[in-house]
Amino acid sequence: MLENPRSPRVRAVAKLTKRAARQETGLYLLEGPQAAREALTWRPDTLIELFTTPSAWEKHDDIRDAASDAGIEAEFASEAVIEAMADTVTPQGIIAVARQVPTSVRDIFADDPKLIVICEEVRDPGNLGTIIRAADAVGADAVILTGRTVDPFNPKVVRATTGSLFHLPVAVGIELADATGRARSAGLRIVAADVGGEDFVDHRGTLAEPTAWVFGNEARGLDDDALALVDLSLRLPIYGKAESLNLATAASVCLYESAFAQRASR
């Protein structure tokens, strides 16, 4: 059992909380039973190591069974070791190390997508994770992240996706012009969520078309160069006294509206 929280091996895992180490190794952290369960269920081929306290291993028999089925052997570690590895203050006894699997933007559009998400300079990890989770929930085909968007393998993003990172393709480091150009060539309409856009309600009928939603920075939104790349900009109406909607909330509404419209038109 791993017991020394200062051992080189433990420190190597802990470094994956930093982007530089993730970029250097091509690995990332999965914290907690939910993330481990989703990885074992959907992408066990990406798991490199699985660490657990004896009590957590005893508690989660479904994870034990999934690891056994995948041929992955867990290594016991003390609570102090798990805490040293983790990004969270109170980890839940299970940590895994997984391999980052790059998704080609070419492959995304080769599959004839009907609904995709493009994130341009989304900086908050919680927002990005929630957008990926919402995209998964509505049945979107893929998520594309431009180079100025937060790393999807950031531990906070991974936690916020609650496993959705394993359910749909996520392409990283794509230029916005490239993403929108490919989407348009594939027959998708490029629609931006923007506070200066046209009233959402007036265009709900058009959302039945194949759509690529573009979501921008939390504070600044999309700049003029980005808006020049889209076909339509829409703003969600505020009927109450709230000043605005959180980016992830607004994105979720937009994506569900598209999903409803597309399914109703089938």
- Over residues 151-176, the pLDDT tens digits come to 999 999 999 999 999 999 999 999 99
95 and 124, same domain (yes or no): no
Distances (CA, A) of 7 to 53, 84, 165, 202, 250: 17, 10, 30, 60, 44
34 and 142, same domain (yes or no): no
110 and 95, same domain (yes or no): no
Residue 167 lies inside a defined structural domain of this protein: yes
Residue 194 lies inside a defined structural domain of this protein: yes
Residue 91 has pLDDT above 90, yes or no: no
Q: Specify the number of domains making up the chain.
A: 2
Q: Average pLDDT, whole number, for the chain?
A: 96
pLDDT, residue 238, reads 95
Residue 41 lies inside a defined structural domain of this protein: yes
Quote the percentage of the chain above a pLDDT of 90: 97
Domain CATH code at residue 163: 3.40.1280.10
112 and 73, same domain (yes or no): no
Residue 257 lies inside a defined structural domain of this protein: yes
Q: Which of these three, 68, 99, 130, is where a domain ends?
A: 99
At residue 260 the predicted structure's pLDDT band, cuts being 50, 70 and 90, is very high
Residue 124 lies inside a defined structural domain of this protein: yes
At residue 102 the predicted structure's pLDDT band, cuts being 50, 70 and 90, is confident
153 and 168, same domain (yes or no): yes
Q: Which of these three, 99, 125, 151, is where a domain ends?
A: 99
Residue 2 lies inside a defined structural domain of this protein: no
216 and 140, same domain (yes or no): yes
Residue 1 lies inside a defined structural domain of this protein: no
89 and 206, same domain (yes or no): no
Whether this prediction's pTM lies above 0.85 is answered by: yes
As a three-state string, the secondary structure of the chain is CECCCCCHHHHHHHHHHCHHHHHHHCEEEEEHHHHHHHHHHHCHHHEEEEEECHHHHHHCHHHHHHHHHHCCCCEEECHHHHHHHCCCCCCCCEEEEEECCCCCHHHHHHCCCCEEEEECCCCCHHHHHHHHHHHHHHCCCEEEECCCCCCCCCHHHHHHHCCHHHCCCEEECCCHHHHHHHHHHCCCEEEEEEEEEEEHHHHHHHHHCCEEEEECECCCECCHHHHCCCCEEEECCCCCCCCCCCHHHHHHHHHHHHHHHHHHCC
Instruction: Write out the residue range of the structural domain in which residue 254 sits.
Output: 105-264
Q: Which of these three, 71, 99, 127, is where a domain ends?
A: 99
26 and 84, same domain (yes or no): yes
249 and 145, same domain (yes or no): yes
Residue 19 has pLDDT above 90, yes or no: yes
142 and 219, same domain (yes or no): yes
86 and 198, same domain (yes or no): no
pLDDT, residue 214, reads 99
71 and 109, same domain (yes or no): no
Residue 141 lies inside a defined structural domain of this protein: yes
At residue 18 the predicted structure's pLDDT band, cuts being 50, 70 and 90, is very high
pLDDT, residue 266, reads 82
Domain CATH code at residue 17: 3.30.1330.30
